[in-house]
């Protein structure tokens, strides 16, 4: 039986799509506090203002992240959501679960919280919605001791690292994203649980340039699988695609009537760098011009594969905020080996170089990409001890970024103007 009249929210159940209102009503039958979520949201719709307050001195002892405080600003009207804190639980790499684990997690959340979840939040974490302050420590104890799971990151912490399925399911993965993500999650536990930086910092690990976790768009530090030799080709399989024996795109879109496969139209003409062509019935690729867009490999997976010398590229500085605009990451390290053989030290060295600089130079609430934009890419790559490369140029000839320093110029910047004028008369 509904506790509040919610005509505006009920409207959201009338469409053909699944409704969160229906979900909350169902949960409210189990946990009556959830009626107050609907009551407060209905009031927010009427008042056209949120009635949630967020943040505060709330969390579990010793942790500076993982709990996001939420309070109602009308607790007398809706006591069930007086405290409604969000708990972020670190998801397993690639989000592989056993049903046993999911059931245990839900049992725990029904015991200590509202039973409402957001699987998964945009952070990638397991988001558990709605917990009273006094229930946080008992929940945390059970989570860590019984389930052996831990909280994720929030605030100015290293956020919970995320990765694609990697080598566990994907033949294109150029490194073990799960191992890298897990290793760095364990290596940086202190940074995940306690504030360390001017603002949030995110790692994401994609196994290939398809970038299934959107690392390039959404992480401060994107490790994206790559190769540095040539795309592997099987010319017999190329012919099989051309003559229709093999279905393109791995069989995706096969229900539509797309006509016969046209390699010129569907692959070669769509190559962004125009580095492919046919010679007779053989496909040719100028690999030095390939930008790893992955289109040809996606369309003809049996004929084309990533190269054999695999590793990753590191791009730095993406963000996807609501305020001040989104920003893609900039390629900083074109190729690096990413392997457990060295305990991922090669990647860790780059991470810590960035952190040491950003922690000093970055302003409060400034993402590392914003700091790079403020000081300029030349300064950043100098700090990182890197040489500029053409891939760092955003807009050639309209936004020059390579400057000579005085010591690089024979004779320095001092010159005899009179001698110059004699040589170059007006």
The residue among 71 and 172 lying less far from another protein, judged by its C-beta, is 71
The residue range among 10-18, 293-301, 362-370, 406-414 that interacts with another protein, by the rule CB under 8 A, is: 362-370
Classify residue 394 as exposed, middle or buried by CB count within 10 Å of its CB (0-12, 13-18, 19+): exposed
254 interacts with another protein by CB under 8 A? no
CA pair distance 233, 306, nearest whole angstrom: 9
Give the side-chain half-sphere CA count within 13 A for 4. Answer: 25
Phi-psi region of 95 (alpha: psi -120 to 50; beta: other; left: phi over 0): left
Bridge pairing between strands 282-285 and 162-163: unpaired
The CB-of-62 to another protein minimum distance in angstroms stands at 5
51 interacts with another protein by CB under 8 A? no
Six token digits for residue 399: 């936004």
Classify residue 321 as exposed, middle or buried by CB count within 10 Å of its CB (0-12, 13-18, 19+): exposed
Contact 183, 343 (CB under 8 A): yes
Six token digits for residue 424: 């170059």
The residue range among 109-117, 187-195, 293-301, 335-343 that interacts with another protein, by the rule CB under 8 A, is: 187-195
Q: Which residues, numbered 64-83, are part of the site for another protein (CB under 8 A)?
A: 64-65, 67-69, 71
Three-state SS letters, 141-172 = HHHHHCCCCCECCCCCCECCCEECCHHHCCCC
Mark 387-416 with x for binding to another protein (rule: CB under 8 A) and - for no binding. ------------------------------
The residue among 59 and 80 lying less far from another protein, judged by its C-beta, is 59
Exactly one of 137, 146, 345, 356 binds another protein (CB under 8 A); that residue is: 356
Long-range residue pairs from 380-385, CB within 8 A, at least 24 positions apart, any chain: 381/332, 383/353, 383/357, 384/332, 384/350, 384/353, 384/354, 384/357, 385/353
Query: Residue 278: helix, strand or coil by DSSP?
Result: strand
The residue among 68 and 372 lying less far from another protein, judged by its C-beta, is 68
The CB-of-151 to another protein minimum distance in angstroms stands at 12
The residue range among 106-114, 202-210, 215-223, 361-369 that interacts with another protein, by the rule CB under 8 A, is: 361-369
CA pair distance 238, 18, nearest whole angstrom: 43
The CB-of-425 to another protein minimum distance in angstroms stands at 55
Mark 120-159 with x for binding to another protein (rule: CB under 8 A) and - for no binding. -------------x--------------------xxxx--
Query: Residue 374: helix, strand or coil by DSSP?
Result: helix
Q: Which residues, numbered 198-217, are part of the site for another protein (CB under 8 A)?
A: 198-200
Exactly one of 14, 98, 360, 398 binds another protein (CB under 8 A); that residue is: 360
197 interacts with another protein by CB under 8 A? yes
Binding residues for another protein (CB under 8 A): 53-59, 62-65, 67-69, 71, 86, 133, 154-157, 190, 194-200, 355-356, 359-360, 362-365
């Amino acid at each position: 039986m509904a506790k509040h009249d919610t005509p505006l929210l009920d409207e959201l159940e009338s469409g053909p799509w699944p409704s969160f209102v229906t979900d909350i009503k169902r949960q409210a039958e189990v946990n009556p506090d959830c009626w107050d979520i609907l009551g407060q949201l209905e009031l927010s719709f009427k008042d056209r203002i949120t009635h949630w307050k967020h943040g505060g001195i709330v969390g579990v002892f010793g942790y500076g992240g993982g709990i996001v405080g939420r309070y109602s600003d009308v607790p007398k009207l809706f006591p069930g959501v007086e405290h409604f804190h969000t708990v972020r639980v670190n998801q397993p790499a690639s989000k592989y679960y056993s049903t046993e684990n999911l059931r245990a997690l839900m049992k725990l959340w029904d015991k200590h919280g509202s039973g409402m979840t957001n699987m998964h939040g945009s952070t990638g974490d397991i988001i558990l919605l709605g917990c009273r302050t006094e229930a946080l420590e008992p929940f945390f104890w059970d989570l860590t001791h019984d389930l052996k799971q831990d909280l994720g990151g929030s605030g100015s912490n290293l956020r919970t690292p995320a990765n694609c399925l990697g080598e566990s399911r994907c033949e294109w993965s150029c490194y073990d994203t799960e191992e890298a993500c897990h290793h760095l999650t364990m290596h940086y536990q202190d940074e995940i649980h306690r504030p360390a930086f001017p603002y949030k910092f995110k790692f994401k690990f994609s196994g290939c340039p398809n970038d299934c976790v959107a690392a390039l768009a959404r992480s401060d530090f994107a490790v994206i699988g790559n190769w540095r030799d040539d795309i592997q080709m099987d010319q017999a399989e190329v012919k099989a695609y051309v003559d229709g024996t093999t279905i393109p795109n791995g069989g995706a879109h096969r229900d539509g009537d797309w006509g016969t496969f046209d390699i010129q139209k569907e692959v070669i003409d769509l190559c962004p760098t125009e580095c492919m062509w046919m010679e007779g019935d053989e496909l040719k690729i100028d690999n030095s011009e390939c930008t790893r867009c992955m289109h040809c490999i996606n369309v003809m997976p049996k004929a084309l594969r990533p190269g054999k010398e695999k590793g990753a590229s590191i791009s730095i500085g993406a963000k996807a905020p609501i305020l001040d605009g989104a920003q893609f990451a900039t390629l900083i390290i074109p190729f690096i080996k990413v392997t457990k053989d060295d305990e991922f030290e090669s990647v860790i060295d780059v991470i810590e170089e960035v952190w040491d600089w950003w922690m000093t130079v970055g302003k409060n609430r400034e993402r590392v990409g914003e700091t790079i934009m403020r000081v300029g890419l030349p300064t950043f790559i100098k700090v990182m001890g890197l040489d500029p490369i053409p891939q760092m140029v955003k807009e050639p000839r309209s936004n020059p970024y390579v400057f000579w320093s005085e010591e690089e110029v024979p004779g320095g910047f001092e010159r005899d103007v009179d001698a110059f004028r004699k040589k170059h008369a007006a």
